[in-house]
């Protein structure tokens, strides 16, 4: 059997506890001090804090984010090579997320980008997974349900459990969402786009 129209998901581990610790400290500091992001989060019903709509210079503000930018750029270049792309991705935006308890994000894509991703910094037990949707789903008008034990590459939805240091990259057109969790603590992460 041939595999056609594969949808790759790049996975890596950032196992530097000092970097993850510095990022966690910075995320919590931003969540406490950055009023525009807190206001946006409150006004949009975001359960926690995000700098998505308020800060666009984290890598120039904080050495931990500058180091993260360097690592992300290296991984994005590796992913682009595996996709046989003729372009080298350039980091376009970077933002932090602090999600409390059962906080979630509805399904979405990242327009005007070519690669998107997230790095999990801290993930308490019960954190909601990130769910990826088969991009062919809208065309599967009368497709039968898959067996519950279908191989991952044949499922219509794939959930990835967040873990500290887990880095995920995907093509920006891939629809994804953050599912509600049962965590009692705060899930910390950094999301980003490459153009």
pLDDT in tens, 83-130: 999 999 999 999 999 999 888 889 999 999 999 999 999 999 999 999
Query: 176-178 and 130-133: which strand pairing?
Result: antiparallel
Q: Are 91 and 73 in contact (CB under 8 A)?
A: yes
Find how far residue 143's CA is from the centre of its chain.
29
Residue with tokens 């690592």: 71
pLDDT bin (cut points 50, 70, 90) of residue 152 is very high
Is-contact 86 164, C-beta < 8 A?
no
Angle formed by the axes of helices 35-43 and 17-33, to 10°? 80
**pLDDT, mean of residues 129-147:** 91
Q: pTM of this prediction?
A: 0.94
Mean residue pLDDT across the chain: 95
Non-local CB neighbours of 19 within 8 Å, separated by 6+ positions: 64, 67, 68
| Terminal CA-CA length for the chain | 34
Q: And the tokens for 38?
A: 């807190």
- Reading the block at residue 49, the tokens are 């804090």
Please tell me the predicted confidence (pLDDT) of residue 10. 98
Is the pLDDT at 53 greater than 90? The verdict is no
Contacts of residue 181, defined as CB under 8 A and 6 or more positions apart, other chains included, come to 99, 101, 102, 103, 104, 126, 127, 128, 129, 187
Residue 154 backbone class (left: φ over 0; alpha: ψ -120 to 50; beta: rest): alpha
pLDDT of residue 141: 84
Looking at residue 140, its pLDDT comes to 86
Based on the number of CB atoms within 10 Å of its own CB, is 2 exposed (0-12), middle (13-18) or buried (19 or more)?
A: exposed
Q: Tell me the domains of the chain and their CATH numbers.
A: 17-135+155-160+167-194 (2.60.120.620)
């Amino acid at each position: 059997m041939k595999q056609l129209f594969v949808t790759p998901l790049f996975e890596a581990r950032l196992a530097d506890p000092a970097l993850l610790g510095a990022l966690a400290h910075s995320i919590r500091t931003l969540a406490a001090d950055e009023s525009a992001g807190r206001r946006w989060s409150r006004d949009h019903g975001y359960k926690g804090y995000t700098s998505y709509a308020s800060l666009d210079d984290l890598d120039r503000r904080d050495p931990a984010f500058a180091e993260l930018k360097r690592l992300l750029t290296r991984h994005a270049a590796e992913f682009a090579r595996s996709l046989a792309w003729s372009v080298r991705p350039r980091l376009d935006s970077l933002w932090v997320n602090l999600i409390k308890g059962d906080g979630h994000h509805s399904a979405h894509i990242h327009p005007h980008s070519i690669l998107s991703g997230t790095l999990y910094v801290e993930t308490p037990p019960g954190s909601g997974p990130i769910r990826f949707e088969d991009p062919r789903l809208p065309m599967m008008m009368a497709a039968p349900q898959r067996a519950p034990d279908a191989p991952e590459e044949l499922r219509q939805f794939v959930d990835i459990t967040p873990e500290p240091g887990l880095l995920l990259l995907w093509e920006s057109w891939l629809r994804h969402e953050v599912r509600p969790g049962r965590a009692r603590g705060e899930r910390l992460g950094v999301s980003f786009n490459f153009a």
